[in-house]
Amino acid sequence: MESDETEGRTLVQVISEKYNPENFPYCRGPGVGVVIRTSPQGSPVKDRLNLPSILVLDGCGITEAGDEEEVATFCAHVVELDLSHNQLKEWGEISKILSNIPNLDFLNLSMNPLRGSSLEPGAAEAFSGLRRLVLNNTQVTWDMVHALTREIPELEELFLCLNEYESVSVSSTSCPSLRLLHITDNQLQDWAELQEVRVMGIPLLQPYTDQERRCLMVAQLPHVTVLNGSVVTDGEREDAERFFIRYHLDCPEDELPQR
């Protein structure tokens, strides 16, 4: 569906149009689709919609939530929501959407112009059920990232690519559930920007033994104080840097790491 660049649209409008029986005529089998209960008003559109639990509404010109009761009616069963490439500018509108989708696990907000927008106190609680959050190219601030992660106790994957970050702002609250952070295509130029790091199960480290992995990582991340959940002591860092030197002693100069 082509986006409407001249006039904003609500999430409710887009759902009503995209999943209208005339545009989406087939019914899904038991357990796959959704049966919308008849409302007191007897809305013929709502009664006949068959929405998937994975809802893709990218590039639809959405600027706001619309009627919250209708969001709840349409989306009570939705677990994944793709709102990328829309025109959502206010976190408050996104909070209205999420507060009416209780089972949401995955949210993609990539390419929405969210620079400078913030949330009212308590509004971030609407994000608390998420496990995966995509904020690529939204220009979201670190303060906003921290405000969200503080309210998402089981967040596992966070995407912050293409946000023009030149540095990493340290949060006062850790995010122990996070296992995958995508922060590529930013403007970070120094490993010193990393505080705490968890590096597990990646192909880059597979050729090394457990001891080699930790020593080489500690030596190459001079400002990291916690690696894979364990505190890096001064003694460990000194031993790791000695190991690093010995390990690369016979390497050709063009193969030596920058560190």
CA distance 58 to 4: 12
Query: pLDDT at position 33, please?
Result: 44
Query: pLDDT at position 152, please?
Result: 96
**Mean pLDDT of residues grouped by 10 in the chain (259 residues)?**
62 89 53 45 50 93 96 93 98 97 97 93 94 97 94 95 87 85 80 67 77 88 84 93 86 71
Query: pLDDT at position 67, please?
Result: 95
Query: pLDDT at position 80, please?
Result: 97
Q: What are the start-end ranges of the H helices in 122-168? A: 142-149
- The pTM (predicted TM-score) of the whole model is 0.71
CA distance 228 to 200: 7
β-bridge mates for residue 180, sequence order = 157
- Neighbouring CB atoms inside 10 A of 164's CB total 10
Classify domain 9-189 by CATH number. 3.80.10.10
Query: pLDDT at position 255, please?
Result: 67
Each domain of the chain, given as residue ranges in start order, spans 9-189, 197-259
Cβ–Cβ under 8 Å, residues 183 and 140:
no
Rg, the chain, Cα only = 23
Query: pLDDT at position 8, please?
Result: 87
Query: pLDDT at position 39, please?
Result: 46
